[in-house]
């Protein structure tokens, strides 16, 4: 990764962190914040407000971030506070991160990892310790905030080290409502997705793709063997995401006029087609989308969205709605 690309990634992560913390950053205030960081000795981290504006555009267009400007607060915020900056952690990206990248990444880390990273970095700055990186990188992963499940730091460190050193893992894994099972696994990827840590790779000795939630690993050691990183798996994950669900094409939704305002706000970013109807409703045609995500969205609107097509999705929404009503009936 070039220095320019690395700095871009670090700025985007930090800007996202500032919005998640409701600090309402703008181009000028964020450029000033970066100047104050000033963690490089002979390579200033500062940039111009114009550069920050380009970063904001990148967040909107390449990451589909739901960003809007608040004229009262004079800064940017997430119109959907639950939106997460999702990107698998790929080996070359993490290992090329420098000290500033570690500090920026710590904004997203769950405790106690966040405190450990900041403490280690402060000691490294004071001592100018070049050995810091090998220790701090164990914990400084690019991830989204709002972790939903506590991760055992010892397990996390072992998984990270196995991923970094291409070591096979021997682990005890417990699915919900299942007995613990012994597994041997090649951790090719570590990622933070929708509030949880995951590791993705192959069941040892096979090409069976597996994705394990790290918080469900209750014991782990090195398995006594190594593996070679699979670039095809890494590239496929970059393209398709951590979980490769099939997408449905041509989903059409009839949306009530009461939610038209935010649909128009998201139209350019999400690139869906909107056709106003005579009664004020909108006929929305989505780009290829994951069925389960659309299902959750439709249900969350409490009847303000009707599935027009496909009929199978319409049936699933109706069945899910009946199940919700039945479960909440007095």
On whether both 81 and 197 belong to a single domain, the answer is: no
Q: Are residues 176 and 114 in the same domain?
A: no
**What pTM, to 2 d.p., does this model score?**
0.50
Q: Of 136, 163, 186, which residue constitutes the final position of a domain?
A: 136
Which residue among 80, 106, 136 closes a domain? 136
Residue 236 lies in a domain: no
Please tell me whether residues 121 and 15 are part of one structural domain.
Answer: yes
C-alpha 208/C-alpha 5 separation (Å) is 33
Q: Which segment, 28-37, 138-147, 298-307, is predicted with the most confidence on average?
A: 298-307
Residue 78 in any domain: the answer is yes
- Give domain status of residue 319, yes or no: yes
168 and 222 housed in the same domain: yes
Q: Is residue 144 part of a domain?
A: no
The answer to whether 13 touches 63, Cβ cutoff 8 Å, is no
Q: What CATH number is associated with residue 187?
A: 2.30.30
d(CA 197, CA 215): 7
Give the pair of three-digit tokens for residue 126.
């004071």
The verdict on 18 and 83 lying in the same domain is yes
Q: What are phi and psi of 209, to 5 degrees?
A: -75, 130
**H and E: helices and strands count for the chain:** 12, 13
Tell me if 124 is assigned to some domain: yes
pLDDT higher than threshold 60 for residue 181? yes
- Tens of pLDDT, residue by residue over 248-307, are 899 999 999 998 888 887 777 678 899 999 999 999 999 888 888 899 899 999 999 999
Of 26, 23, 30, 28, nearest to 10 (Cα)?
30
> Quick check: 149 and 91 in contact, CB under 8 A?
no
Using pLDDT thresholds of 50, 70 and 90, give the confidence band for residue 219: very high
> What does the angle CA 167 – CA 173 – CA 179 come to, to the nearest 5 degrees?
155
Domain-terminating residue out of 84, 104, 136: 136
- 294 in the same domain as 176: no
Q: How many Å apart are CA 233 and CA 188, to the nearest integer? A: 8
Let me know whether 25 and 119 are in one domain.
Answer: yes
The predicted-structure confidence for 44-79, as pLDDT tens digits, reads as follows: 556 889 999 998 998 888 888 899 999 988 999 988
Question: Domain range for residue 275?
Answer: 247-327
């Amino acid at each position: 990764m070039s220095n320019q690309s690395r700095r871009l990634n670090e700025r985007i992560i930090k800007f996202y962190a500032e919005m998640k913390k409701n600090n309402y950053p703008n181009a000028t205030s964020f450029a000033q914040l970066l100047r104050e960081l000033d963690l490089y000795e002979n390579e200033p981290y500062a940039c111009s407000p114009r550069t920050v504006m380009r970063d904001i555009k990148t967040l909107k267009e390449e990451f589909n971030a739901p960003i809007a400007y608040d004229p009262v607060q004079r800064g940017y915020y997430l119109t959907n506070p639950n939106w997460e900056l999702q990107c698998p952690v790929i080996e070359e990206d993490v290992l090329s991160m420098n000290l500033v990248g570690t500090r920026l990444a710590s904004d997203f880390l769950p405790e106690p990892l966040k405190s450990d990273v900041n403490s280690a970095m402060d000691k490294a700055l004071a001592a100018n310790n070049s050995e810091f990186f090998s220790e701090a990188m164990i914990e400084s992963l690019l991830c989204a905030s709002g972790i939903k499940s506590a991760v055992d730091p010892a397990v996390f460190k072992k998984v990270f080290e196995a991923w970094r050193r291409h070591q096979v893992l021997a682990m005890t894994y417990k699915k919900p409502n299942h007995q613990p099972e012994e597994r041997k696994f090649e951790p090719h990827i570590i990622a933070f997705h929708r509030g949880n840590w995951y590791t993705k790779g192959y069941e040892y000795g096979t090409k069976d793709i597996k994705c394990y939630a790290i918080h469900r690993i209750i014991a782990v050691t090195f398995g006594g063997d190594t593996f070679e990183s699979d670039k095809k798996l890494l590239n496929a994950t970059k393209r398709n995401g951590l979980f490769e669900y099939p997408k449905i094409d041509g989903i059409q939704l009839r949306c009530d006029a009461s939610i038209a305002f935010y649909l128009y706000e998201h139209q350019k970013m999400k690139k869906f087609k909107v056709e106003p109807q005579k009664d004020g409703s909108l006929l929305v045609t989505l780009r290829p989308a994951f069925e389960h995500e659309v299902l959750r969205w439709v249900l969350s609107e409490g009847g303000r969205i009707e599935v027009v097509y496909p009929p199978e999705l319409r049936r699933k929404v109706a069945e899910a709605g009946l199940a919700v009503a039945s479960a909440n009936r007095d």
